[in-house]
Structure 1
Amino acid sequence: MISESYNIYPLLDLMGTFIFALSGAVAARKKGLDIFGIFSIAFTVACGGGIIRDLCIGAIPPAGLTNWLYLVMVLAATLIGIVFNRTVNILNHPVLVFDAVGLSVFAVSGARKAIVFEHNYEVAILLGIVTAVGGGVIRDILLDRVPVILRKEIYASAAMVGATIVVIGEYLHYSLETVSVVAIVVCFGLRFLGLHFHWNLPSFPDKESEKDK
């Protein structure tokens, strides 16, 4: 089963690795870290979620630690983030854009890899989310920022939708490639539109605190 249906997902993993590494490199450079610090943050954000996923599904040792292509992707993204920083920053919010693309790709590849390793659909959705947000959480903690998933923004919920589309497509036996593209587009669309229109999940402020103000 693994050899038959696992052809496209290493490519998605590598694509997501490069994009997340670039977002990590840009964020680290803005914080004024040295070259080793930039590479460390890039590697952490790019491979952190995938390593957690692989440990959970029993894919040991994790691909992020054994496949040299992941290291190449991180190195390439780090160099681009350092050398072409001005070009990258032409975008209004480069870190957020790269992060949204990486979130979408990793949500899909994470959910699919869990299915390929014959875990149930609930696990696939959860690990799709973990793959998508895990590296970003570690990045934000290391850079002394509140992790995005703890804010009101549409982030982990977008990853959940993307992973759920993968699961539904698997259940209905749709084309893997078509389902992947749809899931990535929908996940990215939710994240991007959420940023553009400032969509937030509902929050529940403390009424007592408001009275004190």
Structure 2
Amino acid sequence: MVDELELLKKDWQKQEDTLPKYTKEDLYPMLLKKSSSIVKWILIISIIEFAFWIALSIILEQTNKYSEFKINDDLQIYNIGLNVINYIALIYFISRFYLNYKLIKTNDSARGLMRNILKVRKTVKQYILFNVIFLIVGTIVMLGVKFKSDPQSISEINPFVFFIAFIIILGLFIGLLLILYRLVYGRLTKRLKSNYEELKKLEI
């Protein structure tokens, strides 16, 4: 039994010796390339998301034109206002993602790459936080305008039941949004964190 164990140890050591040995100079370009690719995908996905919201807005606008249930003028004004704010914010974050991508791509030091990775992760967190807050505030504003322009609709609704239903539905939408962001952006930022940990080892 002891002889078999020794043979296994020797065999393992031989395999370890045959594995390629990477120096700090070899690993840094690999991590730089991986990080740059991840940030590029974050940028691409944010652009796709921007295009999706514009397309959805156009579809809803066209649907409203031919619908029997027209959106009143007050609601339409607030809807346009919220869309403008959303588009401006999306353009801002896309610009941030692009600048982060350029910074990482042209980076020339492990410490600088670590700093830029942290910036990217922070930007992604801010982006997700903005979308969640915007969803909550936008929904509340639109409901407030709706009830203000149509007071009769409030009298026909049980306030307590409506409040509970509103919280549940909004919570479901937020939960779904966070799940989607976790699946998409969460995976990418997790890979960036892994690269960051590898870079920390190189700096030690």
Which TM-score band (shorter chain)?
A: 0.3 to 0.5
Question: More relative contact order in 1 or in 2 (CA 8 Å, sep 6+)?
Answer: 2
> Which structure features the higher share of helix residues?
2
Task: Calculate the TM-score normalised by the size of structure 1.
Answer: 0.35
Task: Calculate the TM-score normalised by the size of structure 2.
Answer: 0.36
